[in-house]
Homo-oligomer: A and B are copies of this chain.
Amino acid sequence: MITSTSSFRESAPEPRRAPALWPLSPSGIAYGCDYNPDQWDAATWREDVRLMAQAGVNLVSFGMFSWANIEPRRGEYHFEWLDEVFDVLHDAGIAIDLATPTAAPPAWFLREFPEARVVDRTLTPLGPNSRGSACPASPVFREHALRITRALAERYGQHPALAMWHVHNEYGLPVSESFTPEAQQAFRDWTRVRYGSLDAVNTAWGMAFWGQTLGDWEDITGPVPSPSIVNPSLQLDWRRFNSDLLLSNYVAERDALREVTPHIPITTNFHSCPWVDQWRWAQEVDVVATDHYLRASDARGHVDLAQTADLTRSVAQGHPWMLMEHSTSGVNWQPRNIAKNAGEMARNSLSHLGRGADAIMFFQWRASVKGAEKFHSAMLPHGGTDTRIWREVCDLGEQLSRLDDLRGSRVQAQVAVLLDWNSQWAQDLEWRPSIDLTHGEQTARWYDRLWRDHITADFAHPEADLSSYRAVFAPASYLLTDVAAANLRNYVAGGGTLVVGPFSGVVDENDGVRAGGWNAALAEVLGVRVQEYCPLRGEDSARLQYRGGETLVADVWTEDLMVTDAEVLAHYVDGPRPGQPAITRHGFGAGSAWYVASDLSAEDLAPVFTDVYDTADVFSPELPDGVEVIVRAGDAGAFATVINHSDHGHQITVPGTDVLMQIAAGEALVQRL
Contact = CB atoms under 8 A, between A and B. Distances in A.
A149 interface: no
Interface string A254-293: 0000000000000000000000000000000000000000
A117 to B, nearest CB: 9
A230 B130 contact: yes
Contacts of A329: 532
A120 B123 CA distance: 13
A158 to B, nearest CB: 25
B131 A388 contact: no
A63 to B, nearest CB: 9
B174 A129 contact: no
A380 to B, nearest CB: 11
Main secondary structure of the interface of A (DSSP, over half): loop
A66 interface: yes
Given A111-B218, A209-B36, A433-B332, A133 B226 contact: yes
Interface stretch (A13-21, A510-518, A630-638): A510-518
Interface stretch (A90-98, A370-378, A443-451, A488-496): A370-378
B132 A209 contact: no
A386 B560 CA distance: 13
B107 A335 contact: no
Contact of A382 (B104, B120, B436, B517): B517
A435 interface: yes
Given A431-B375, A535-B337, A106 B368 contact: no
A106 B213 contact: yes
B436 A336 contact: yes
Interface in A320-366: 329-330, 332-333, 335-339, 341
A517 B383 contact: yes
Contacts of A72: 213, 215
Nearest to A110: B219
Contacts of A228: 130-132, 174, 372
Contact of A372 (B232, B333, B529, B536): B232
A513 to B, nearest CB: 4
Given A219-B107, A297-B538, A435 B67 contact: no
User: Which has the most chain B C-beta neighbours within 10 Å: A105, A210, A375?
Assistant: A210
A124 interface: yes
Interface in A287-308: 296-297, 299
B375 A227 contact: no
A534 interface: yes
A336 B537 contact: yes
A656 interface: no
A367 interface: yes
A370 B205 contact: yes
A205 B39 CA distance: 11
A389 B518 CA distance: 14
A335 B435 contact: yes
A388 B561 CA distance: 11
User: Which has the most chain B C-beta neighbours within 10 Å: A214, A341, A382?
Assistant: A382
A536 B534 CA distance: 37
Interface of A: 36, 38-39, 64-69, 72-73, 101, 104-108, 111, 118, 120, 122-133, 174-175, 205-216, 218-219, 221, 223-234, 296-297, 299, 329-330, 332-333, 335-339, 341, 367-375, 377, 381-384, 386-389, 431-436, 510-518, 529-538, 556, 560, 562, 576
18 contacts: A39-B206, A106-B211, A111-B218, A122-B124, A123-B124, A129-B212, A206-B369, A296-B537, A299-B537, A329-B532, A330-B533, A332-B433, A333-B431, A335-B435, A339-B535, A367-B513, A370-B512, A388-B531
